[in-house]
Amino acid sequence: MIRKAFSKLLDINQREINRLSKVVKEINSFEAKAKKLKDKDFVKKTEEFRGRLKKGEPIEDILPEAFAVVREASDRAIGLRHYDVQLMAGVALFEGKVAEQKTGEGKTLSAVPALYLRALAGKGAHLVTVNDYLARRDAGWNAPAFALLGLSVGVIIQEQKSFVYNPQYEDKSHGDERLSHLKPAERKLAYAADITYGTNNEFGFDYLRDNMVQTMDEMVQRGHYFGIVDEVDSVLIDEARTPLIISAPDTEPTEKYYQFARLVAKLDPDGDYTVDEKSKSASLTERGIEKVEKALKIKNLYEKDFEIIHHVENALRAKTLYLNDRDYVVKENQVVIVDEFTGRLMVERKG
């Protein structure tokens, strides 16, 4: 039974590979034509493709020639020519499917033709990666190819920093040529680019911030048309367990937090509460509830009001589950959460 199911899975995978191989064969049929293009002709090809799309031609019909043109542009601009297997991955990504490539197989390059073709619609294409360095590196690496094709590239990273690729701009302070032409720019301008690279957290936080603004002009994102997610298992499974939360400044007196922190500090861990590290939860026992009720001089903690319960439970969790320099750090008199997966400071989650 297991062998039969596994065999069927292999058959499905092989059929998909065979299908993609046929598409790549069609892409290769345009290679000679693409090689004859002069550098100035690449922008004209982009304009031609956009015109065909506006006239109603299916984007899938444009794919073979467009991918061939991108491969030639990449070869000329950055000296990297797509292998057939990278084009296969690119087609799968274009179609919104999961493509697995091992380290060193050129995932960064595989995404380029898919991003290009989707960006022709003029609605923006996003490349979501796992950290700031990769976002900047991959954008700076591939931007010359996109620029040759007439497309703009933006980058968004932590601390509200954003960039646009500008070949006339040069910053050698990084020591990495791939980062030297990324010019600091407004967040909105980075999103206005044809292709925007960034981290999953930053795309998420910008979405949340856009939902808190007072006017449309304050929004930085312009919609969500197409995106490719790098390290998709990490982003959508592992890191997705940590919610993205933005809160307004607290208007409650700070003294309340000190009051309840002092209260839970007097509780006995051996009988007043229980802690579940796995689920990140801490709960008062019957004995603990009685101690809290006595300290607050109330008859029934859970019939008083929700605000008191909220403060007690949060103070208890803060005491038992979150450790300084492990789960958070205090920086410039603010608490900054530490990402449990990367160990990086999550500056957007501070208070």
Please write the tens of the pLDDT for every residue from 115-170. Answer: 999 999 999 999 999 889 999 999 999 999 999 999 999 999 988 899 999 999 99
Domain with CATH 3.40.50.300 in the chain: 1-120, 122-246
Please give the share of the chain, as a percent, with pLDDT higher than 70. 91
- The 3-class secondary structure across 210-257, one letter per residue, is HCCCCCHHHCCCCCCCEEEECCHHHHHHHHHHCCCCCCCCCCCCCHHH
Q: Which CATH number fits domain 122-246: 3.30.1280.10, 3.40.50.300, 3.90.950.20, 3.40.630.10?
A: 3.40.50.300
* CATH architecture entry for 255-324: Alpha-Beta Complex (3.90)
The pLDDT value recorded for residue 349 is 56
- What pLDDT is recorded for position 258? 87
Residue 316 Ramachandran class (φ > 0 left, ψ -120 to 50 alpha, else beta): alpha
Class for domain 1-120, per CATH?
Answer: alpha beta
Residue 10 confidence (pLDDT): 61
Taking only the tens place, the pLDDT of each residue in 244-269 is 777 655 656 678 888 888 988 999 98
The residue whose two tokens read 């999953």 is: 200
CA separation for the pair 338, 242 (Å, rounded): 11
User: Can you read off the two tokens belonging to residue 296?
Assistant: 């607050």
**Residue holding tokens 């990140």?**
280
Q: What is the pLDDT of residue 31?
A: 96
Residues 76-88 have a mean pLDDT of: 96
List the end-to-end C-alpha distance of the chain, in Å, as a whole number: 55
Quick: pLDDT tens for 30-58: 999 999 999 999 999 999 999 999 999 99
For the whole model, what pTM was predicted? 0.76
Q: Residue 238 — very low, low, confident or very high, per pLDDT cuts 50/70/90?
A: confident
Q: What does the alpha-carbon distance between residue 196 and residue 138 come to, in Å, rounded to a whole number? A: 11
Give dist(CA 82, CA 310) in Å, integer.
Answer: 56
| pLDDT greater than 90 at residue 339 | no
Backbone angles phi, psi at 268, to 5 degrees: -90, 120
Cα–Cα distance list, 105 to 46, 82, 86, 98, 102 (Å)? 27, 10, 8, 15, 6
More confident residue, 228 or 173: 228
* Amino acid 328: pLDDT: 80
CA distance readout (Å), 318 to 211, 228, 281, 323? 29, 37, 10, 8
And the tokens for 4? 């039969």
DSSP secondary structure string, 121-164? TSS-EEEEESSHHHHHHHHHHHHHHHHHTT--EEEE-STT-EEE
Contact 85, 105 (CB under 8 A): yes
Ramachandran angles phi, psi of 272, nearest 5°? -95, -15
Kindly report, residue by residue over 272-293, the tens digit of the pLDDT.
Answer: 899 888 777 888 899 988 898 8
**Largest distance between two CA atoms of the chain:** 86
AA identity, residue 138: D
- SS3 at position 164: strand
Closest CA to 238 of 130, 92, 323: 130
User: For residue range 63-77, what is the model confidence (pLDDT) as tens digits?
Assistant: 999 999 999 999 999
Nearest-CA neighbor of 66 among 128, 18, 112?
112
CB of 125 within 8 A of CB of 117?
A: no
Averaged over 316-322, what is the pLDDT? 87
Say how many C-beta atoms besides its own lie within 10 A of residue 39's C-beta. 10
Which segments of the chain are extended strands (E)?
A: 125-129, 153-156, 162-165, 182-184, 195-199, 226-229, 273-276, 281-284, 328-331, 334-338, 345-350
Two tokens, residue 294: 């006595």
Residue-level pLDDT at 100: 87
C-alpha dist (Å) from residue 76 to 71, 147, 149, 213, 277: 9, 12, 11, 43, 54
Q: Pick 329 or 93 by higher pLDDT.
A: 93
From-to residues of CATH 3.90.1440.10 in the chain = 255-324
CB distance 77 to 147 below 8 Å: yes
> How long, in residues, is the chain?
351
Q: 218 pLDDT band (50/70/90 cuts)?
A: very high
The predicted model gives 202-211 an average pLDDT of 93
Cα 132 to Cα 44, 179, 200, 202, 203, distances in angstroms: 33, 12, 10, 9, 12
Average pLDDT, the chain: 88
3-class secondary-structure state, position 123: coil
Q: What is the pLDDT, as a whole number, of residue 7?
A: 62
pLDDT of residue 341: 65
